[in-house]
């Protein structure tokens, strides 16, 4: 029987030791907020997990890992081992008997809603309260309500939440903004970081660190006390991203930290584990087989790409085309380092509020050194900010909207900001907004798709550096794309085709196009305010 226990210490040692269990209506215990969590599904079910995912019992690999067992997992595994070699054994029937798959909540809007009315109406449909979860579920309970993206994404996601918060604040839902800030503070306090999402199989990685932007957003409405309240969480998150910074030799890397040959400290995406992702097991196994590389190396790169949020994109591929050449852990990304610059400056501001002079000096220094490193290593001589391959010691020639993160963060040199804007206008601007890359690879974070969060980052960065004209062009084109899909299909979706005039929802990737959709809703409300003429 295949049972792997090495993930258990990662999960269980990080969880609060208090265990509060209550019996639910079906006779099983519910796991409460703060209770010890079970291992992730691949460990919990061993060979049964591999069999189910390999046989594609469900169309979507995420379905099984979100399912709830109808009996104790150890009992289910014992029954499987006893029955699997019997004549006429049906794995599908066995799974149907012992697991309850998740049921997605349908969203049927009232007729004749305007786009703004529809988004305001959607918030309640996308809000979840999960202070407990069925025992042995992969769901991590959270103390307060939160908004999910929608569709197959039945849990909260880290970087999605910032863009969702933009819309919640615009809709007057500051209560949900504060609730999700508190949930993330709880996750940082409990696990040392904000996981990719609140599932046990996401605990081994984080996502783009937008928490400082979330705190800043709330502070704009609620004042400086917000910085004081969340400063401990911000500092603890920073410690997570910077593990190994003081002990890594030059030219090496430890976890999320890369120390370049001159001593410059920057960051990369990473994952604690080097196994196939629970939620995409079969796809990862197939990618590793096609790569001709050590499987664990490929798995780590695939997982690191999931931490980036851009899963998947030519941006991370060695040949700019093929998923099997993924090398994310070898890349120093411009977006991640811009976000960490903002985290450093936000901590410095929080320490100013709390009058901790020593902390202010330290984090101002951290931010200044990072800005210097970004402008040295993450500037592409072809005229844009981009990623750097620290193992090959050269810039990556892949033009994506990630080049606009230094502008949003305010660390770009003015002349470079203008050159970056010209590159965006020349290379990425399409009829429906910004293309996610210049490569059409069938991956969802590539051409011809465009994504709401990248449009908002572009708009904020360009306006900051005096290119409000280009920001307006980008914003109005993407808004028209969203409006066209809503007019014809009465829904908002995860991503859009931006090449051509409003061709519809985007495609590619590991799963079908999802409706909902949290971050599209948030960004669309902001675009309606800026460029929608009061719609």
Tell me the C-alpha distance between 80 and 57, whole Å.
15
- In three-state form (DSSP H/G/I as H, E/B as E, the rest C), the secondary structure along 230-252 is HHHHHHHHHHHHCCCCCCCCCCE
Q: Which of 262, 309, 260, 303 is nearest to 284 (CA)?
A: 303
Tell me the C-alpha distance between 508 and 33, whole Å.
36
Cα four-point dihedral sign 220, 225, 227, 233: negative
Tell me the C-alpha distance between 109 and 116, whole Å.
13
Residues, the chain, total? 535
Tell me the C-alpha distance between 388 and 324, whole Å.
19
Task: Determine which helix (DSSP H) or strand (DSSP E) holds 306, and give its type and residue range.
Answer: helix 295-308
- Catalytic residue among 120, 301, 446, 494, which? 494
Answer whether the bond into residue 129 is a cis peptide, omega within 30°. no
Backbone dihedral region of 130: left (phi > 0), alpha (psi from -120 to 50 degrees) or beta? beta
Strands of 311-445, DSSP E: 331-332, 379-380, 384-385, 388-389, 394-395, 429-430, 433-434
Q: Is 257 helix (H, G, I), strand (E, B) or coil?
A: strand
Tell me the C-alpha distance between 156 and 196, whole Å.
9
Tell me the C-alpha distance between 259 and 231, whole Å.
26
The answer to whether 413 is a known ligand-binding residue is: no
Has 311 been annotated as catalytic? yes
Tell me the C-alpha distance between 521 and 433, whole Å.
16
The answer to whether 308 is a known ligand-binding residue is: no
Tell me the C-alpha distance between 88 and 85, whole Å.
9
Q: Which residues of 156-194 are buried (b: 16+ CB within 10 A; e: fewer)?
A: bbbbbbbbbbbbbbbbebeebbbbbbbbbbbbbebbebb
The answer to whether 393 is a known ligand-binding residue is: no
The answer to whether 309 is a known ligand-binding residue is: yes
Has 135 been annotated as catalytic? no
What's the CA dihedral at 471, 474, 477, 479 to 10 degrees? -70
Backbone dihedral region of 88: left (phi > 0), alpha (psi from -120 to 50 degrees) or beta? left
The answer to whether 315 is a known ligand-binding residue is: no
Q: What are phi and psi of 420, to 5 degrees?
A: -60, -45
The answer to whether 196 is a known ligand-binding residue is: yes
The answer to whether 206 is a known ligand-binding residue is: yes
- Catalytic residue among 311, 335, 481, 515, which? 311
- The catalytic site residues sit at 311, 494
Which residue positions form the known binding site for substrate?
Answer: 152, 159-160, 196, 205-207, 309, 510
């Amino acid at each position: 029987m295949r049972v792997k226990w090495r993930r258990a210490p990662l999960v269980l040692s990080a969880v609060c030791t208090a265990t509060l269990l209550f019996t639910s209506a079906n006779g099983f215990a519910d796991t409460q907020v703060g209770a010890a969590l079970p291992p992730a599904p691949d460990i919990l079910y061993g060979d049964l997990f591999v069999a189910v995912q390999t046989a594609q019992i469900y169309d979507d690999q995420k379905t099984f890992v979100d399912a709830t067992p109808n009996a104790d997992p150890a009992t289910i595994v014992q029954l499987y081992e006893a029955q699997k070699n019997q004549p006429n054994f049906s794995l599908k029937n066995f799974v149907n008997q012992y697991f309850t798959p998740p049921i997605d909540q349908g969203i049927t809007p009232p007729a004749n809603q305007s786009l703004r009315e529809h988004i305001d109406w959607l918030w309640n449909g996308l809000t979840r309260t999960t202070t407990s979860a069925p025992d042995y579920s992969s769901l991590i309970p959270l103390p307060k309500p939160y908004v999910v993206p929608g569709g197959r994404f039945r849990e909260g996601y880290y970087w999605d939440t910032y863009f969702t918060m933009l819309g919640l604040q615009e809709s007057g839902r500051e209560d949900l903004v504060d609730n999700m800030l508190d949930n993330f503070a709880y996750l940082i306090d409990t696990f040392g970081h904000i996981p990719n999402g609140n599932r046990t199989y996401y605990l081994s990685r984080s996502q783009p660190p937008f928490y400082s932007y979330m705190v800043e957003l709330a502070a704009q409405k609620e004042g400086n006390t917000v910085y004081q309240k969340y400063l401990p969480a911000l500092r603890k998150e920073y410690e997570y991203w910077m593990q190994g910074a003081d002990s890594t030799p030059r030219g090496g890397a430890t976890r999320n930290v890369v120390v370049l040959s001159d001593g410059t400290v920057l960051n990369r995406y990473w994952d604690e584990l080097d196994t196939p992702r629970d939620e995409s097991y079969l796809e990862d196994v197939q990618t590793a087989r096609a790569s001709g590389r050590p499987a664990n190396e490929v798995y780590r790169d695939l997982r690191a790409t999931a931490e980036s949020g851009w899963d998947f994109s030519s941006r991370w591929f060695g040949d700019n085309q093929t998923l099997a050449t993924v090398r994310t852990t070898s890349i120093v990304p411009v977006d991640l380092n811009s976000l960490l610059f903002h985290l450093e400056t936000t901590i410095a501001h929080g320490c100013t509020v709390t009058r901790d002079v020593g902390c202010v000096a330290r984090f101002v220094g951290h931010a200044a050194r990072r800005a210097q490193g970004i402008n040295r290593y993450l500037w592409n001589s072809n005229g844009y900010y981009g990623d750097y391959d620290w193992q090959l010691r050269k810039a990556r020639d892949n033009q994506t909207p990630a080049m606009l993160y230094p502008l949003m963060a305010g660390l770009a040199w003015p002349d470079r900001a203008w050159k970056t804007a010209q590159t965006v206008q020349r290379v990425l601007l399409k009829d429906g907004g910004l293309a996610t890359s210049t490569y059409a690879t069938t991956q969802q974070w590539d051409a011809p798709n465009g994504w709401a969060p990248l449009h908002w980052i572009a708009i904020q960065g360009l306006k900051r550096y005096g290119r409000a004209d280009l920001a307006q062009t980008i914003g109005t084109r993407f808004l028209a794309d969203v409006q066209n899909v809503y007019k014809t299909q009465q829904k908002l979706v995860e991503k859009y085709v931006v090449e051509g005039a409003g061709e519809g929802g985007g495609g590619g990737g590991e799963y079908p196009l999802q409706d909902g959709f949290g971050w599209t809703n948030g960004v669309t409300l902001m675009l309606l305010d800026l460029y929608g003429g009061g719609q």
